[in-house]
Amino acid sequence: MKRMTAYMTAALISAGMMSAPAFAADAPAQGQAPAQATQAQASDFSDAQLEQFAAASQEIARISQDFAGKLQKADDETAKQSVRQEANDEMVGAVEDSGLEVATFNSIGQAVQNDPTLMKKVQKLAQENS
């Protein structure tokens, strides 16, 4: 479940950062009310974490683009699921390679979704690092 959550959040955030249509948000963490699950604030994260998030999001966007074609070429649902799992594994790896834990990445992703100022800050960091 943690890996799928990373995939959904990563896809959502990379889509948002690339100004593409948004995907469905992942469900709130188990045991939390929806309002509690989305109340992370910009002040909850260091600048270093936001930079790591921006870098991971850019890598996730690249991975997402790479796998979009593979997914379209997949013949059946089993093949599509295999492609999705491979993409998910690479996205989780990108998050972990950035130095963030998947849970932290997801928390930042939720905060970015709910805070336009934080989204702009992350977008600026992504532009500076590209």
At 52-95, the pLDDT tens digits run 999 999 999 999 999 999 989 999 999 999 999 999 999 999 99
Residue 81 located in a structural domain: yes
Q: Which long-range contacts (CB under 8 A, 24 or more apart) does 59-67 make?
A: 59/94, 59/97, 59/98, 60/10, 60/11, 60/13, 60/14, 60/91, 60/94, 60/95, 61/14, 61/15, 61/17, 61/18, 63/87, 63/90, 63/91, 63/94, 64/10, 64/11, 64/14, 64/15, 64/91
Residue 37 located in a structural domain: no
User: What's the pLDDT at 127?
Assistant: 87
Range of the domain at 10: 2-14+47-128
* pLDDT tens by residue, 2-50: 444 454 455 545 444 443 322 223 333 434 444 444 455 656 899 999 9
CA 30 to the chain's CA centroid? 19
User: What's the pLDDT at 130?
Assistant: 72
Residue 118 located in a structural domain: yes
Residue 38 located in a structural domain: no
Residue 34 located in a structural domain: no
Residue 82 located in a structural domain: yes
User: What's the pLDDT at 92?
Assistant: 95
Is the pLDDT confidence value at 125 over 80? yes
User: What's the pLDDT at 118?
Assistant: 93
Residue 70 located in a structural domain: yes
User: What's the pLDDT at 40?
Assistant: 56
* pLDDT tens by residue, 100-122: 999 999 999 999 999 999 999 99
Residue 51 located in a structural domain: yes
User: What's the pLDDT at 129?
Assistant: 77
Count: domains in the chain: 1
User: What's the pLDDT at 17?
Assistant: 46
